[in-house]
Amino acid sequence: MAIPVNIDDLLNNRIVESMRIELKAGFNPNPVIHTICAFANDIDNIGGGYLVLGVEEQDGMPVLPPKGIPQNEIDGILKRLIGLCHCIEPLYYPVAEPVFFQGAHIIVIWVPGGHGRPYKASKDVFSAGSAKLYYIRRLSSTVIASPNEEKELFYVSTDIPFDDRPNLLASVDELDLGLMRDHLSRVGSNLYEQSEGREALAIARDMQLVAGPPEDLHPLNVGILMFTEHPERFFRYARIEVVSLPDPTGQGMTEMTFTGPIQRQLRDALAYIKNSVIETRVEKLPDKAEATRTFNYPYAAIEEILANAVYHRSYQVNEPITVRITPEAIEITSFPGFDRSITREDIEERRFRARSYRNRRIGDFLKELRLIEGRNTGFPTAYRALEENGSGELDFDTDETRGYLSVTIPVHPNFLPKATGGDAKAAAYTDALLDALENEDLTLTQLAHALGYRSISKKLSDTVNALVVQGRIERIPAAIGSAVLLRSARKDSGR
């Protein structure tokens, strides 16, 4: 059975994080079985991992070309592996494939997160009476779970990530052969050539897209969302809506709806935004030989935030992903919001490290297609793109229940519409905001509390962004930590 990823990309950490790859020069049964057990337990819900036999490791990187495994030993290793998997309880079989890579024979073992977790494995696979222990991954190492980690493992094992569950309302006939083969072709998997002439069910089994007994097989939710032409038949609001509002009254509003497999939705929505929304201005400065090029929105920031929304949203919530475009900003909203393990302080200090993931399989497939990067890299990439473009910072809006998340990308100051004056209410709101910053510098959350709000509203975020662009407020780093403070320019210039 072939591995549904490109081996060169896998070994060079292009699509799978290094912490999910274990390299071994040869076949040593104890560490191999312990690592299979750890990946199958998938305590962080990140999709299991891969063992590669026949490749040495140095400083966390593969030594290439590989040392390899003698060809006459490969069949024996695969047979021994099947028997040794009986040392894992409950029984778990990974997917193993011999591969000829860079002039050497290696074995790639794919270990998806198991549905039967928690798993434990014999400490010594050569001893029939050996104690069985729970093994987990911590960073790039396989370790024995501590008592607290065992409790955590049992807790996460009570809930299989939504995208990895079978959909009992759908049949395997819903899975589209063309979509599955297109994915394998795009990622450069050896399985693509092997899929020629095979039935859809056989390919779906190889890609781990079905579950259940032979007489009652069902596709997994990830299969319905990514490899059927009409996932909306099962997830009505699995779509992306892009609304452009050039005028506050709604005149000239345009709306585009993107449906179909979620990876196609993402590609099509991003292409539409790139072609219809992104604008460029080139300015020739007298003291520079090269012209300066700026964008109303850096495409990389939009790409990362929208891809994160597709990855992390709940497909059980009956709300679409919406992209709202106004002359001042782009707002991307998805449901629900950040995982509760990410605090308000984490958001302010740009620490986006979720403790668990709703959709581990969707994340894997999107990474293979290079539509998203590794874990926790989306927002840092967006921040970097905004900074390089000279744009303002991201603003986040959610509620206390984390029921939704709206991420606002401010338009570059050069593209702001000319001011037409504000009414008395808007002016009073601005004055109250500036008065709150008169005596002390505040974070955005502290400013919201000072104005009597329980959380950061979109109105507050938009007003702060506008005042920053106008030079009436500046963002400064806090003395301690990486939080950002807001300071009124009236402190230095007088009222």
Q: Are residues 225 and 251 in the same domain?
A: no
Q: Give the contacts of 17 (CB within 8 A, at least 6 positions apart).
A: 46, 374, 375
- β-partners of residue 107 are 53, 98
pLDDT bracket for residue 67 (50, 70, 90): very high
Cα–Cα distance for residue pair 26/24, rounded to 1 Å: 5
Strand, helix or coil for residue 88: strand
Least confident of 69-73, 386-390, 426-430: 426-430
Q: What angle do CA 191, 206, 309 make, to 5 degrees?
A: 90
Tokens of 6: 């490109």
The CATH number for 319's domain is 3.30.565.60
What tens digit of pLDDT does each residue of 330-364 get?
Answer: 999 999 988 776 777 777 777 776 656 678 899 88
How far from chain centre, in Å, is Cα 280? 28
Q: Spell out where 1-159 has E strands.
A: 21-24, 49-53, 57-58, 61-62, 88-89, 95-101, 104-111, 120-122, 132-133, 135-138, 141-144
Q: Name the more confident of 457 and 148.
A: 148
Q: Are residues 447 and 330 in the same domain?
A: no
What tens digit of pLDDT does each residue of 411-448 get?
Answer: 998 888 765 445 667 778 888 888 899 888 898 888 98
Q: Are residues 405 and 297 in the same domain?
A: yes
Q: How many helices (H) and strands (E) does the chain have?
A: 17, 23
Least confident of 91-100, 189-198, 353-362, 477-486: 477-486
Which pLDDT does position 399 carry in this prediction?
Answer: 82
Q: Are residues 330 and 347 in the same domain?
A: yes
Decide if 471 is inside a domain: yes
pLDDT bracket for residue 490 (50, 70, 90): low
Which pLDDT does position 188 carry in this prediction?
Answer: 92
Contact 330, 324 (CB under 8 A): yes
Decide if 270 is inside a domain: yes
Least confident of 159-173, 240-254, 421-435: 421-435
Q: Are residues 411 and 277 in the same domain?
A: yes
What tens digit of pLDDT does each residue of 2-39 get?
Answer: 788 889 988 987 778 888 899 999 999 999 999 999 99
Which pLDDT does position 475 carry in this prediction?
Answer: 83
Q: Are residues 447 and 407 in the same domain?
A: no
Q: Are residues 193 and 115 in the same domain?
A: no
Q: Are residues 334 and 481 in the same domain?
A: no
Decide if 167 is inside a domain: no
Q: Are residues 383 and 313 in the same domain?
A: yes
Which pLDDT does position 439 carry in this prediction?
Answer: 84
Q: Are residues 410 and 433 in the same domain?
A: no
Q: Are residues 28 and 153 in the same domain?
A: yes
The CATH number for 484's domain is 1.10.10.10
Cα–Cα distance for residue pair 381/115, rounded to 1 Å: 33
pLDDT bracket for residue 210 (50, 70, 90): very high
What tens digit of pLDDT does each residue of 111-146 get?
Answer: 988 888 999 999 999 998 999 999 999 988 999 999
Decide if 1 is inside a domain: no
pLDDT at 245 over 90: no
The CATH number for 131's domain is 3.30.950
Q: How many domains does the structure of the chain reveal?
A: 4
Tell me which residue range forms the domain holding 48: 7-157
Q: Are residues 139 and 11 in the same domain?
A: yes
